[in-house]
Amino acid sequence: MAGRLRTAGLILFLLALFGAIGWLLGGFFANEWYLGAAIFLGLAGVMNLIAYFGSARIVLRSYRAKEVSEKEAPKLYRSVRRVAQMADVPMPKVALISSPTPNAFATGRNPKNAVVAVTEGMLRLLPEEELEGVLAHEMAHIKDRDILVMSVAATLAGAIAFMARFALWGALFRQRNQGALLLLIVIAVTAPLAAILVQLAVSRTREFRADEVGGRTLRKPLHLARALERLDVANQRRPMQRGNPASASLFIVNPFRRRSTLVRIFSTHPPVEKRVKRLRRLAREFGQYY
């Protein structure tokens, strides 16, 4: 409950930030403060509707994920069905991504419309028990509707960054009150950073939660811990070559190359070392040791 309240608070903060930028823009360009805020909040609503109904289709197409039948992928289907039953969620659709990079993600606006997508590289890399550990993590995301939450956060964060950039360039080419101009420039520079930090906080909170729920679902958290270690090494050696980094938060580990410490700080995922450490602590509750 505390985690859900924290996530709701972060989403509300993003909405408030979006409205504040609209309020400032409306006052600066047209002396209509409230109109600007209303327009921007309306835009946020439209973007969230698009994210709600279309995000799954968009992300699946961007990675060329192909929905497969039980006949086409019997082993994967068997594992997905078993874990879905243990997690008490409806059987999701199953999609396969033609990529050697081992990874997986879940998408869909609710458990009844969920899709679990797995790369061919992950099927080759992980033994069955570790594959099921990964699937349990994804089922936790589906059960808690994390994909919807993260899609909304990503949509709002992206919109804030775009609008702040628009405000900055518009302000630089208009001669108005110097104090208001300075304030607008400060907001334009700091608002995107705040939005990104909130998006990261939402994503990292949900990842820790999905690890714990997934580990408890199978009652064998070390299977997920070992899978995370393998996947982290493999994704750094062979990062994904296609797709949008904005959707990196959907994957169980970051599928794109992390080049510097700064990039790692702003990563959508918590460090794998911390995730594994938590899972090992959890494993002791179930008498599972190294």
**Is the pLDDT higher at 53 or at 15?**
53
The predicted model gives 228-257 an average pLDDT of: 86
3-state secondary structure 172-234: HCCCCCHHHHHHHHHHHHHHHHHHHHHHHHHHHHHHHHHHHHHHHHHCCHHHHHHHHHHHHHH
Question: What is the rounded average pLDDT for all residues in the chain?
Answer: 79
The predicted model gives 249-277 an average pLDDT of: 76
**Is the pLDDT higher at 91 or at 145?**
91
Lowest pLDDT segment from 42-56, 113-127, 202-216: 42-56
* Rounded Cα gap, residues 141 and 118, in angstroms: 15
Indicate if the alpha-carbon torsion angle 208, 114, 99, 63 is positive or negative. Answer: negative
Confidence band for 164, pLDDT divided at 50, 70 and 90 = low
pLDDT of residue 153: 65
Lowest pLDDT segment from 5-9, 150-154, 176-180, 203-207: 176-180
Q: State yes or no: pLDDT of 236 exceeds 70.
A: yes
- Residue percentage of the chain with pLDDT more than 90: 41
Confidence band for 190, pLDDT divided at 50, 70 and 90 = low
Q: Which helix (H) or strand (E) holds 289?
A: none
Lowest pLDDT segment from 20-24, 60-64, 68-72, 103-107: 20-24
Q: State yes or no: pLDDT of 174 exceeds 80.
A: no
Half-sphere exposure of 31 (CA within 13 A, CB side): 2
Question: Catalytic site residue 138?
Answer: yes
Domain with 141, as residue range(s), is: 2-286
Domain tally, the chain:
1
Lowest pLDDT segment from 47-56, 103-112, 148-157, 212-221: 148-157
Q: How far is CA 234 from the centre of its chain?
A: 20
Q: State yes or no: pLDDT of 262 exceeds 50.
A: no
Catalytic site residue from 32, 67, 120, 138: 138
